[in-house]
């Protein structure tokens, strides 16, 4: 059995740099790595790109609350959107949960306000400005 964790990999259809800056502020994410398509050491092995995408993000990795979030601009502006999953951001600190929730809500939509539940003293759900669904919680 593998001990390698499943890691989320998000494609932002040309908005990856905007997403990186947003998550740096909203979740205190640290950029571990960022590479553009023009920095690809083997460009002949890459997918065809739309004109002007040379400076778009080919791959980036962020450290968020001890976990890793990978992302890219994808291979073009045609996004299929984010559906059928949520990312969970757990913090032992209720003040941090409230801060992150408020930050992720900016330009997004609150799906469930932060509240006490049977499984958490502070839990809520928000869809951020990129269409990514987040669950923010303080574990019980």
**Six-digit token pair at 27?**
């979740």
47 and 109 in a common domain: no
53 is in which domain, residue-wise? 1-80
Full-prediction pTM beyond 0.85?
Answer: yes
- pLDDT for 2: 55
Type and span of the H or E element at 105: helix 94-105
Question: In total, how many domains does the chain have?
Answer: 2
CATH (domain of 88): 3.30.720.110
In 3D, which of 89, 85, 138 has the Cα closest to residue 115?
A: 138
* Per-residue model confidence as pLDDT tens digits over 56-82: 999 999 999 999 999 999 877 776 777
pLDDT band at 28 (very low <50, low <70, confident <90, very high): very high
* Per-residue model confidence as pLDDT tens digits over 82-140: 777 899 999 999 999 999 999 999 999 999 999 999 999 999 999 999 999 999 999 98
């Amino acid at each position: 059995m593998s001990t390698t964790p499943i890691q989320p990999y998000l494609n932002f259809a040309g908005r990856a740099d905007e997403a990186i800056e947003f998550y740096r502020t909203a979740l205190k994410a640290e950029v571990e790595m960022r590479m553009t398509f023009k920095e690809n050491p083997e460009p002949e092995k890459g997918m065809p790109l739309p004109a002007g995408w040379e400076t778009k993000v080919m791959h980036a990795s962020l450290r968020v609350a001890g976990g890793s979030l990978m992302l890219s601009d994808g291979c073009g502006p045609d996004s299929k959107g984010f559906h059928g999953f949520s990312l969970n951001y757990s913090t032992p600190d209720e003040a941090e949960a409230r801060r992150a929730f408020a930050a992720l809500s900016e330009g997004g939509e609150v799906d469930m306000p932060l509240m006490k539940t049977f499984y958490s003293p502070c839990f809520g759900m928000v869809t951020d400005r990129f269409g990514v669904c987040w669950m923010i919680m303080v574990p019980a």
